[in-house]
Structure 1
């Protein structure tokens, strides 16, 4: 079942791009989060989305938020992707798709490709925005930033 606005995001652990253990409890309760699920590293839409988050990352962190990208790629793939495009935010390797399943992220493009969904939470982990749009990769960034601005104003 997919998460809804008002739900608390589930706890999750996984490897980050550097192969370190990531635990969502390190962030929930401390800062607002922008968690975005994307299909694959190094694809045109996913690269555009990641670079847009990169270009506005400071806007998010200035508001006290953290950005976390999640796909089923490996930590090694994420590391190369982050280095190639100088991505300053956290990338999580959800190789078994268990995090995607816990959030209830649907498949996109007629069930052929993993979906692209962005969740914005308050610092307690309560979802305040869900933006589900697989085709408009770069539209996620202004939607997420507006939600964070509204949250902290």
Structure 2
């Protein structure tokens, strides 16, 4: 297992399939970290669609999306489920951020957050516009998550 990146580390590029609910259409496409250069990015890794804590977390971020985006940031949710599961989750909960599928847990492994039994640890990483890690929170058991207000405050600290 890789180690979790340290604050200030440059985050390597990755590519994952994902989808975004746009009105009634779930737009599927490939997402790359490289495409986000020039603006901050929040990566919210979560263990599973439609589970109680994950649902609360992603709904919180979707509800706070306008504030998060007001900082210039983009928010991506990442979990091991496939795109069909992500589409159902996004539709059932009206989630408005892209949900990316890391079925092989390659990106989770690169971030050092895979875990036996649960698959991956709940983790949030804020990456600067230049691709460096600004802030992170990785949980041991995954029962808690940072609220959208904490993420917004961290994003507000980034240089303009």
When normalised by structure 2's length, the TM-score is: 0.87
What residue is the counterpart of 2:12 in the other structure?
10
Count of paired positions? 148
CA contact (8 A) 1:131 1:143 kept: no
Tell me the distance in 1 between the aligned counterparts of 2:7 and 2:90. Answer: 30
CA contact (8 A) 2:68 2:148 kept: no
CA contact (8 A) 1:19 1:76 kept: no
Residue aligned with 2:43, SS: strand
Return the structure number with greater helix share. 1
1:150 aligns with 2:157: yes
Structure 2 stretches of 5 or more lacking a match?
A: 20-26
Pairwise CA distance, 1:82: 0.9
Residue aligned with 1:130, SS: strand
1:116 aligns with 2:118: no
Tell me the distance in 1 between the aligned counterparts of 2:131 and 2:91. Answer: 29
Moved runs in structure 1, 4+ residues, more than 3 A?
Answer: none
Structure 1 stretches of 5 or more lacking a match?
A: none
| Alignment RMSD | 1.4
Match of 2:53 among 45, 49, 61: 45
Residue aligned with 2:64, SS: helix
Judging changes above 3 Å, is the alpha-carbon distance between structure 1 residues 106 and 94 closer, same or farther for their aligned structure 2 residues? closer
When normalised by structure 1's length, the TM-score is: 0.90
